[in-house]
Structure 1
């Protein structure tokens, strides 16, 4: 089973490290960011199952990050907000911006961990019964099958995972590292042709049933689903 990725955006290094250490012990893959701008950069180029967000951040504030995450990046990743602000109207405003949960500082790490697990389980249950359609491609994640114009594609495990990642995240650009680590469930050691070859194979298999483009190359960055 692949490890779930969590993005921690917290400018207090001590708090950031505490959260990081606790989550690593629970076998999560964690990325640490110390400003809203740094967090946005990670969210734009990588896929996470959950984001932990402080509000009082240098540069891009937590509120501004939430707004740009949901509007500009069109990212629906669950967000748990950390804040010392307790007023109801402030919390309601954050939920309006798209936050999924709210933890008041100071907090117990056990409570934060419990809330994280609730959101991850809820999200995985939703995805496990999901079916997706893009143009003439139909993906059933329950049966791990993909059809194009009603013709089943004969795919390797990694080819299926690459298409699944693209279809489930239609506005995201995936780097080669993203695709390798998520599809192979392994660390990306460096530049190689593995992803390029797999993308080429996927395109050729789809072209047998549909001349439409399904995967765009974003030069210098990676790949995304064609619009």
Structure 2
């Protein structure tokens, strides 16, 4: 069973499509349609230890909540959880779109904030990022193979749009014209091509391509991606590597 997600949203249609998307992505979802209903579910979950972590948390691995809820507001729910010491990741989805709104809610203890209307795929990625950051369940890093080829082994040639990458021969070409990449640049392109449409955070890219722990956001990954794009620009394929704001990078050929 996947990580347990509580979706708190009084709009039944939004609640349904959100839960459907999360379930399709492998999560176990519970829907709540008011703040008071969510509070009951959270208090019930706190009474029993978590199977995954062996401690009383709140019965869920992540919470996705609106702010304007009947019975009990999202702000009050966040405050209640943090006052009780619950460290469960909380992602807010709200139509309130001012910087002041976001700052206030994050200041209460929320971990992320998406403005309605939001992209469902982006929400899934943000949930995954929060779970990964807290060490819940399987992480993208643990399920994505490291780049590179073991000695004596071969890997299939990767293609994406006009790109062709041969991991075994260590060659990269656009329209069959060879493009020179450094070892690190090659590893980044290989990672993205091996997992098209998957959003990788800078931490994931660094740990998978440098094979070192990611300590600080020092723009190393961003700088390397910029260099790759510069080499791709003459072919007009530099936009294959998309920056997903606030998340990371993905291949969109």
Q: Give the 5 Å matches for 1:38-53.
A: 38-46=37-45, 47-53=59-65
Contact persistence 1:40–1:69 (CA under 8 A): no
Hey, what does 2:129 align to over in structure 1?
Answer: 118
Hey, what does 2:101 align to over in structure 1?
Answer: 90
Counterpart of 2:75 (choices 63, 68, 76) is 63
Hey, what does 1:5 align to over in structure 2?
Answer: 4
Alignment gaps of 5+ in structure 2: 46-58, 140-253
Q: Give the 5 Å matches for 1:48-197.
A: 48-71=60-83, 73-124=84-135
CA RMSD, aligned part only?
A: 2.0
Q: Residue by residue, what CA displacement relative to the aligned partner does 1:54-106 show, whole Å, maximum 9, x if unpaired?
A: 011011011111111111x3311000001111111111111111000000000
State the distance in 2 between where 1:75 and 1:40 align: 13
Contact persistence 1:20–1:32 (CA under 8 A): yes
Closer/same/farther in 2, CA of residues 94 and 16 from structure 1, 3 Å limit:
same
**Offset of 1:11 from its aligned partner?**
0.3
State the distance in 1 between where 2:14 and 2:22 align: 12
TM (normalized to structure 1)?
0.53
- After superposing on structure 2, the runs of 4+ consecutive aligned residues of structure 1 that deviate more than 3 Å are 125-128
Alignment gaps of 5+ in structure 1: 129-227
State the distance in 1 between where 2:18 and 2:138 align: 26
Q: Residue by residue, what CA displacement relative to the aligned partner does 1:3-44 show, whole Å, maximum 9, x if unpaired?
A: 210000000000000011111111211110001111111112
Aligned residues: 126
Closer/same/farther in 2, CA of residues 83 and 123 from structure 1, 3 Å limit:
same
State the distance in 2 between where 1:79 and 1:122 align: 12
State the distance in 1 between where 2:115 and 2:102 align: 10
Q: Residue by residue, what CA displacement relative to the aligned partner does 1:96-127 show, whole Å, maximum 9, x if unpaired?
A: 11000000000110111111111111111799
Whose Rg is larger? 2
Closer/same/farther in 2, CA of residues 19 and 86 from structure 1, 3 Å limit:
same
Hey, what does 1:205 align to over in structure 2?
Answer: none
TM (normalized to structure 2)?
0.47
Q: Residue by residue, what CA displacement relative to the aligned partner does 1:133-190 show, whole Å, maximum 9, x if unpaired?
A: xxxxxxxxxxxxxxxxxxxxxxxxxxxxxxxxxxxxxxxxxxxxxxxxxxxxxxxxxx
